[in-house]
Structure 1
Amino acid sequence: MATQHIEGTQEAMILNQRQTSVGFVGLGTMGDPMASNVAGGGYDVRLYDVDIERSQALAARIGATALQSSEDLAGCEAVVFMLPTSAIVRSVLLTDAGVLRVPFRPGTVLIDMSSSDPNETLETGRLLAAHGVHLVDAPVSGARARAENGTLAIMMGADDEEAADRAEPIIQTMSERIFRTGALGTGHAMKALNNFVAAAAYTASTEALVAGERFGLDPQTMVDIFNASTGQSFVTTHVLEDHIVKRNYATGFALPLMTKDVRIALNLQQSVHHAAPVCEAVTGALSDALEALGNVDHSKAFEFWQQR
């Protein structure tokens, strides 16, 4: 009897998901597989991207609906955003005067999974709240492979607990673990700080590789020692050997995005009046590499620092 009750509950949950319309905006490297997982979770998914052909192709592949314009999102009960910056998210949602571009119904839940600036998220959330629309920030950690298999780590902030509770089942289709970080903006703050820590480890470890190689150390031996010693980090175990020592430079994380995230972390620290000399140094190193190299994989910065 208990088994029948559980099965009945699961069936009801699936039916409820199929009746819930979820918009998904931004179908790039990460957005494509994330939207696929939302559709795989049983939701009525409606896709929008500035590249209409991209949204149409994905819709055909996953059984979703491709929208012709962002205004068509108005009928969705929840909308996920996976866009490059918080400024772009804001431009999709609001005019400069704070008027809704999309006539969302009051109570609609918007889920910003982009790597956004937390201070801009707070301002956007305030403007949306004036229209009765709820914003939840839920940025992701994990590369495309984890987006594809639905095991992303999510940092979720929200001011409205009911909105967070409505967002969570949607997010679960894309996630292995959801961390509730607190009020609106804390998810984006945590993502920026996490990426700063990762970028600092990357900058420091590649700087050490350059110095060691010039002194006569073998790079592979250095990596092996890092990973058996206190210098071990995600960067030394997942980036250095495959992408630096072997010169593949294909982590899937672009240099402009890493630089943007570290700048967000620096702005965050400055906004809370915190001295951040390490963040300033990492921001400067990445900015120099970005100016010289442009839109390349972030691991390619090693060559710039090596030659400088």
Structure 2
Amino acid sequence: MTQMPAKIGFIGLGNMGRPMAANLARKGATLVVRDADAGRQEGFVREFAVADGSKANAFADVEVVVTMLPNGKIVRQALLDSGIADALPRGSLVIDTSSAEPLLTRQLAEELAHYHIGVVDAPVSGGTPKAIDGTLSIMLGADDEELAARAATVLSLMSARIFRTGALGTGHAMKALNNYVLGAGFVAAAEAYVVGEKFGLDPKLIVDVLNASSGRNVSTEAVFVSEVVTRRFRANFTFGLISKDVGIAAELADRLSIETPLLDQVHRALSDGGKELGMGADYSELVRIFERRADITHA
């Protein structure tokens, strides 16, 4: 593993970015941070005694920038429209940990190459709890092994496992495909759950049998147990986020001219759920939508 960079920039201090940046700070990294929410940025600067990245020239001696933002378009804006790319030194590296579009990531790399800035994609999996613990799984895509090694030095402070997925963009592709499989498993389990309810099966029994049988998946073992049967519906993953990721997978399949009827249906189900309840609603509430359509009521 290569030497830790003398200074790291971190852009995006939201639900995932804040605990990730906090792990870097606690483990001795010298940070410059920026967030679109000035209050959130100021709070982090005060709590961890790190540098304020409000002005682009704060990044003038940064060797590595980590981005954790909503999508690839915003990543591009944060780097190119803000003056940060102009301020970064030649030979610096951008590590995009966002859930972004693989093809946009490759376009960004082409643009940043004019500034002599390298790019790797390193989306994460594990949610906020693992971001807090520093035990995320990370999918690392890079066209250059030296860039991958530099990135891994930083990413190791926030992760339990780093998967080297291949060329630039493959990390983002793998993240989208993973979340498609997550979404498909949840939608299938939700449909089975509601059909069983309507037929008179006890909801808890449905989940217990699934989890002791071949139908179990991460959704039945975690989300259905803690959020659906309990009627809490707080899995901390919104319709907006999961439908975006599944949409990236669908767009990738379309670009590759691969027919994916199930992927398209899962994307539609999650997108429609977000339109009905709001993209900020928890995706586990898709069960409520299915129940309402089946005329199932709960006290």
Q: What TM-score does the superposition give when structure 2 sets the normalisation length?
A: 0.93
For residues 59 and 282 of structure 2, what CA distance do their matches in structure 1 show? 33
For residues 39 and 102 of structure 1, what CA distance do their matches in structure 2 show? 25
Corresponding residue to 2:65 among 64, 73, 79: 79
Tell me the secondary structure at the aligned position of residue 73 of structure 2: helix
Matched, 1:111 2:108: no
Give the total of aligned pairs: 292
Tell me the secondary structure at the aligned position of residue 176 of structure 1: strand
Q: 1:56 deviation in Å?
A: 1.7
| Contact 1:139 1:156 survives alignment (8 Å) | yes
Tell me the secondary structure at the aligned position of residue 290 of structure 2: helix
Matched, 1:264 2:248: yes
TM-superposition CA deviations, 1:41-94 (whole Å, max 9, x none): 211011100112211211222232222234532321100000011110011122
Give me the identity figure in percent.
42
Instruction: Report 1:1-308 matches (<5 A).
Output: 17=4, 20-95=6-81, 101-294=85-278, 295-308=280-293
Greater shift, 51-60 or 63-72, is seen at 63-72
- Stretches of 4+ aligned residues off by more than 3 angstroms: 99-102
Q: What TM-score does the superposition give when structure 1 sets the normalisation length?
A: 0.91
Gaps of 5+ in 1: 1-12
TM-superposition CA deviations, 1:177-220 (whole Å, max 9, x none): 00000110000000000000000000100111011100111111
For residues 52 and 162 of structure 2, what CA distance do their matches in structure 1 show? 28
TM-superposition CA deviations, 1:10-52 (whole Å, max 9, x none): xxx9xx64x6100000001111110011112211011100112
Question: Cα distance 1:87–1:205, how it changes in 2: closer, same or farther (>3 A)?
Answer: same
Gaps of 5+ in 2: 294-299
Q: Which amino acid aligns with 1:31?
A: G
For residues 297 and 75 of structure 1, what CA distance do their matches in structure 2 show? 40
TM-superposition CA deviations, 1:152-197 (whole Å, max 9, x none): 0000001121111111111001000000001100000000000000
Greater shift, 229-238 or 63-72, is seen at 63-72
| Contact 1:141 1:154 survives alignment (8 Å) | yes
Tell me the secondary structure at the aligned position of residue 60 of structure 2: helix
